[in-house]
Amino acid sequence: EVQLLESGGGLVQPGGSLRLSCVTSGFIFSSSAMGWVRQAPGKGLEWVSTVEGSGATKYADSVKGRFTISRDKSKSMLYLQMDSLRAEDTALYYCARWITDTGFDYWGQGSLVTVSS
């Protein structure tokens, strides 16, 4: 059974940093593409970042230069390092498995990040 579980969210001041983690199981993580999608309170979905099976990384313009996606294949873990956080980064952050030509087929339950003074 495929499982994804995010952690690391919380309250952080503007300009601060936070690292989200996503532990995965039930599939071959090392060859899988993974991504992060966020949802601000009461708003729609926004793609944030993807790391492809090759290791190539992609980012939304809104987070480029501030967020870094990475993975630890030995631990089947996905990460999102978030720096220079802004109020508009406040959202529920989902990690999800990405299948090329298919989409995000498995999702975690989300980790809430609140950026506020």
Partner 1 sequence: AIQMTQSPSSLSASVGDRVTISCRASQDIRNELGWYQQKPGKAPNLLIYSTSSLQSGVPSRFSGSGSDTDFTLTISSLQPEDFATYYCLHDANYPLSFGGGTKVEI
25 binds partner 1 (CB under 8 A): no
Instruction: Give whichever of 15 and 105 is closer to partner 1, judged by the CB atom.
Output: 105
Secondary structure, 3-state, the chain: CCEEEEECCEEECCCCCEEEEEEEECCCHHHCEEEEEEECCCCCEEEEEEECCCCCEEECCCCCCCEEEEEECCCCEEEEEECCCCHHHCEEEEEEEEECCCEEEEECCCEEEEECC
* 44 near partner 1 (CB under 8 A): yes
Answer yes or no whether residue 66 interacts with partner 1 by CB under 8 A.
no
State the minimum distance, in angstroms, from the CB of residue 21 to partner 1. Answer: 17
Q: Is residue 1 part of the contact set for partner 1 (CB under 8 A)?
A: no
- Among 58, 66, 81, 90, contact with partner 1 (rule: CB under 8 A): 58
User: In the complex, which residues of this chain contact partner 1 (CB under 8 A)?
Assistant: 37, 44-47, 50, 58-61, 94, 96, 101-105, 107-110
